[in-house]
Amino acid sequence: MSNSKVLKQTPSQTAGPYLHIGCIPHQIGINHAFSKDLNNLVLSKETKGSRIEICGKIYDGNYDVIKDALVEIWQVDTNGYYKSRVNRNNKSDPNFNNWGRTSCDLETGLWQFHTIKPGMVKLNNRKTLAPHIWLWIVARGINMGLFTCLYFCDENNLNKLDCNLKKMSNNSNLESLIAEKIEKNKYEFNIYLQGDKETIFFDI
Protein backbone atom coordinates (compact mmCIF):
# COMPACT_ATOMS: atom_id res chain seq x y z
CA MET A 1 0.00 0.00 0.00
CA SER A 2 1.38 3.40 -0.83
CA ASN A 3 0.08 6.88 -0.37
CA SER A 4 -0.69 9.04 -3.36
CA LYS A 5 -1.61 12.67 -3.41
CA VAL A 6 -4.87 13.01 -5.28
CA LEU A 7 -6.48 16.04 -3.66
CA LYS A 8 -5.34 19.62 -3.22
CA GLN A 9 -5.08 21.20 0.21
CA THR A 10 -7.83 23.58 1.27
CA PRO A 11 -6.28 27.05 1.39
CA SER A 12 -5.97 28.98 4.64
CA GLN A 13 -7.77 32.27 5.26
CA THR A 14 -7.34 34.77 8.06
CA ALA A 15 -9.22 33.97 11.28
CA GLY A 16 -10.36 37.62 11.27
CA PRO A 17 -11.22 39.82 14.26
CA TYR A 18 -14.12 37.71 15.55
CA LEU A 19 -12.31 34.40 16.10
CA HIS A 20 -13.34 34.50 19.78
CA ILE A 21 -16.90 33.57 18.87
CA GLY A 22 -15.83 30.23 17.48
CA CYS A 23 -12.77 29.40 19.58
CA ILE A 24 -12.92 30.96 23.05
CA PRO A 25 -16.25 32.74 23.45
CA HIS A 26 -16.47 32.68 27.25
CA GLN A 27 -13.07 34.26 27.56
CA ILE A 28 -14.47 37.51 26.16
CA GLY A 29 -17.89 37.25 27.74
CA ILE A 30 -19.86 35.64 24.93
CA ASN A 31 -22.09 33.09 26.62
CA HIS A 32 -23.18 30.28 24.36
CA ALA A 33 -25.31 27.34 25.28
CA PHE A 34 -22.29 25.22 26.20
CA SER A 35 -20.73 25.54 29.60
CA LYS A 36 -17.02 26.07 29.10
CA ASP A 37 -14.48 26.90 26.44
CA LEU A 38 -12.32 24.22 24.94
CA ASN A 39 -9.10 25.92 25.84
CA ASN A 40 -7.05 24.74 28.74
CA LEU A 41 -4.32 22.24 29.12
CA VAL A 42 -5.74 19.66 31.44
CA LEU A 43 -3.73 20.10 34.59
CA SER A 44 -4.88 18.27 37.66
CA LYS A 45 -3.27 17.45 40.97
CA GLU A 46 -2.17 14.19 39.35
CA THR A 47 -0.43 15.80 36.36
CA LYS A 48 3.28 15.05 36.59
CA GLY A 49 5.90 17.74 36.19
CA SER A 50 6.86 21.15 37.48
CA ARG A 51 4.24 23.85 37.10
CA ILE A 52 5.23 26.84 35.03
CA GLU A 53 3.57 29.89 33.54
CA ILE A 54 4.41 31.16 30.10
CA CYS A 55 3.23 34.55 28.90
CA GLY A 56 3.97 37.27 26.40
CA LYS A 57 2.73 39.83 23.93
CA ILE A 58 2.65 39.88 20.15
CA TYR A 59 3.90 42.98 18.32
CA ASP A 60 3.16 44.19 14.78
CA GLY A 61 5.49 46.01 12.39
CA ASN A 62 4.99 49.31 14.26
CA TYR A 63 5.84 47.57 17.54
CA ASP A 64 2.22 48.03 18.57
CA VAL A 65 0.75 45.25 20.72
CA ILE A 66 -1.73 42.98 18.92
CA LYS A 67 -4.77 42.43 21.11
CA ASP A 68 -7.01 40.29 18.94
CA ALA A 69 -4.80 37.23 18.33
CA LEU A 70 -5.39 33.62 19.35
CA VAL A 71 -2.49 31.49 20.58
CA GLU A 72 -2.50 27.70 20.63
CA ILE A 73 0.26 25.58 22.15
CA TRP A 74 1.35 21.96 21.78
CA GLN A 75 3.93 20.33 23.99
CA VAL A 76 5.05 16.96 25.30
CA ASP A 77 4.53 15.94 28.92
CA THR A 78 7.19 15.98 31.62
CA ASN A 79 8.75 12.77 30.27
CA GLY A 80 8.86 13.93 26.67
CA TYR A 81 5.78 12.12 25.35
CA TYR A 82 2.70 13.05 23.41
CA LYS A 83 -0.48 11.05 23.78
CA SER A 84 -1.15 8.66 20.99
CA ARG A 85 -4.33 7.17 19.68
CA VAL A 86 -2.51 4.45 17.79
CA ASN A 87 -0.07 3.20 20.36
CA ARG A 88 -2.00 2.00 23.37
CA ASN A 89 1.19 1.23 25.26
CA ASN A 90 2.24 4.83 25.03
CA LYS A 91 3.73 5.98 28.31
CA SER A 92 2.38 9.50 28.15
CA ASP A 93 0.86 11.12 31.24
CA PRO A 94 -2.89 10.38 31.19
CA ASN A 95 -3.43 13.54 33.24
CA PHE A 96 -1.93 15.90 30.69
CA ASN A 97 -3.47 16.93 27.40
CA ASN A 98 -0.56 18.35 25.31
CA TRP A 99 -2.66 21.20 23.88
CA GLY A 100 -4.03 24.54 25.00
CA ARG A 101 -5.24 27.83 23.63
CA THR A 102 -6.04 31.32 24.76
CA SER A 103 -6.69 34.73 23.28
CA CYS A 104 -4.68 37.82 23.97
CA ASP A 105 -6.28 40.05 26.56
CA LEU A 106 -8.43 42.52 24.62
CA GLU A 107 -7.15 45.43 26.76
CA THR A 108 -3.48 44.60 27.32
CA GLY A 109 -2.66 42.03 24.62
CA LEU A 110 -1.10 39.69 27.18
CA TRP A 111 -1.48 35.94 26.62
CA GLN A 112 -0.61 33.37 29.26
CA PHE A 113 -0.75 29.65 29.97
CA HIS A 114 -0.38 27.66 33.14
CA THR A 115 1.28 24.41 32.13
CA ILE A 116 4.14 22.10 33.03
CA LYS A 117 7.72 22.26 31.89
CA PRO A 118 7.96 19.83 28.95
CA GLY A 119 10.56 17.10 29.08
CA MET A 120 13.45 16.46 26.74
CA VAL A 121 12.58 14.42 23.64
CA LYS A 122 14.81 11.58 22.44
CA LEU A 123 14.85 11.03 18.68
CA ASN A 124 16.73 8.40 16.72
CA ASN A 125 20.52 8.47 16.15
CA ARG A 126 20.94 9.82 19.67
CA LYS A 127 19.45 13.14 18.58
CA THR A 128 17.59 15.07 21.21
CA LEU A 129 15.23 17.99 21.43
CA ALA A 130 15.52 20.33 24.40
CA PRO A 131 12.31 21.16 26.28
CA HIS A 132 10.19 23.24 23.93
CA ILE A 133 6.61 24.33 23.30
CA TRP A 134 5.10 24.90 19.86
CA LEU A 135 2.98 28.01 19.40
CA TRP A 136 0.51 28.70 16.61
CA ILE A 137 -0.74 32.26 16.14
CA VAL A 138 -3.75 33.41 14.17
CA ALA A 139 -5.38 36.85 13.97
CA ARG A 140 -6.86 39.43 11.67
CA GLY A 141 -4.18 40.26 9.09
CA ILE A 142 -2.46 36.87 9.40
CA ASN A 143 -3.41 34.93 6.27
CA MET A 144 -2.09 31.61 7.52
CA GLY A 145 -1.37 30.51 11.09
CA LEU A 146 2.25 31.16 12.17
CA PHE A 147 4.25 28.44 13.91
CA THR A 148 7.05 29.31 16.28
CA CYS A 149 8.80 27.37 19.02
CA LEU A 150 9.55 28.39 22.60
CA TYR A 151 12.74 27.17 24.30
CA PHE A 152 13.80 27.93 27.87
CA CYS A 153 16.66 30.21 28.97
CA ASP A 154 17.44 27.94 31.92
CA GLU A 155 17.98 24.83 29.79
CA ASN A 156 21.25 25.94 28.24
CA ASN A 157 22.90 22.55 28.34
CA LEU A 158 20.00 20.82 26.63
CA ASN A 159 19.55 23.72 24.21
CA LYS A 160 23.16 23.25 23.08
CA LEU A 161 22.41 19.61 22.27
CA ASP A 162 19.09 20.31 20.51
CA CYS A 163 19.45 19.10 16.92
CA ASN A 164 17.20 21.85 15.54
CA LEU A 165 18.79 24.75 17.41
CA LYS A 166 22.22 23.48 16.36
CA LYS A 167 21.27 23.83 12.71
CA MET A 168 20.18 27.41 13.29
CA SER A 169 23.25 28.41 15.28
CA ASN A 170 24.18 31.11 12.74
CA ASN A 171 20.76 32.71 12.74
CA SER A 172 21.03 36.22 14.16
CA ASN A 173 17.52 36.04 15.62
CA LEU A 174 17.98 32.73 17.41
CA GLU A 175 17.41 34.50 20.72
CA SER A 176 13.83 35.14 19.61
CA LEU A 177 13.10 31.49 20.39
CA ILE A 178 14.35 31.60 23.98
CA ALA A 179 11.84 32.52 26.68
CA GLU A 180 13.21 34.68 29.49
CA LYS A 181 12.65 33.83 33.11
CA ILE A 182 10.89 36.78 34.74
CA GLU A 183 9.88 35.18 38.03
CA LYS A 184 10.28 31.82 39.67
CA ASN A 185 8.59 29.32 37.31
CA LYS A 186 7.39 32.13 35.02
CA TYR A 187 8.71 32.73 31.52
CA GLU A 188 8.13 35.57 29.08
CA PHE A 189 8.07 34.97 25.33
CA ASN A 190 7.34 38.05 23.24
CA ILE A 191 6.66 37.60 19.56
CA TYR A 192 7.60 40.15 16.90
CA LEU A 193 5.90 39.77 13.52
CA GLN A 194 8.29 42.19 11.80
CA GLY A 195 11.31 44.42 12.40
CA ASP A 196 14.83 43.91 13.77
CA LYS A 197 13.58 41.50 16.37
CA GLU A 198 11.36 39.51 13.96
CA THR A 199 10.67 36.16 15.58
CA ILE A 200 11.78 33.04 13.73
CA PHE A 201 8.72 31.28 12.30
CA PHE A 202 8.67 27.76 10.92
CA ASP A 203 7.33 25.93 7.93
CA ILE A 204 6.85 22.54 9.50
Partner 1 sequence: MDKNNRDLNYSIYPSDKKIHPKPFTPDYRSSILRSPKKNPLSMENIISDLSGHLIAKNELGSLDNDLTKNYCKNSEPLGERIIIFGKVLDENSKPIPNSLIEIWQANSSGRYRHSGDNYNAPIDPNFSGWGRCLTDENGNYFFKTIKPGAYPWPNGGNNWRPAHIHFSVFGLSFLQRLITQMYFEGDPLISICPIAQSINNKDALESLISKLDLSKSVHMDYRAYKFNIILRGDNSIPFENRL
By CB under 8 A, the residues from 26 to 85 that bind partner 1 are 28-30, 32-34, 38, 60-62, 64, 66, 68, 72, 74, 76, 80-85
User: Would you call 65 helix, strand, or coil by DSSP?
Assistant: strand
Q: Are 35 and 69 in contact (CB under 8 A)?
A: no
Q: Which of residues 171-190 bind partner 1 (CB under 8 A)?
A: 171
Binding segment for partner 1 (CB under 8 A), chosen from 43-51, 108-116, 178-186, 195-203, is 195-203
Beta strands 186-188 and 58-59 are unpaired
Based on CB atoms, which residue is closest to partner 1, 87 or 185? 87
Based on CB atoms, which residue is closest to partner 1, 52 or 139? 139
Q: What is the C-alpha separation between 150 and 136, in angstroms, rounded?
A: 11
169 binds partner 1 (CB under 8 A): no
Q: How far is the CB of 56 from partner 1 (least distance, A)?
A: 16
Based on CB atoms, which residue is closest to partner 1, 55 or 163? 163
Q: How far is the CB of 184 from partner 1 (least distance, A)?
A: 29
| Largest Cα–Cα separation, the chain | 53
**Amino acid (one-letter) located at 91:** K
Q: Which of residues 93-132 bind partner 1 (CB under 8 A)?
A: 97-99, 106, 121-124, 127, 129
Nearest one of 157, 155, 145, 160 to 191, comparing CA atoms: 145
Angle at 48 between CA 56 and CA 113, to 5 degrees: 15
Q: How far is the CB of 42 from partner 1 (least distance, A)?
A: 10
Q: What is the C-alpha separation between 17 and 197, in angstroms, rounded?
A: 25
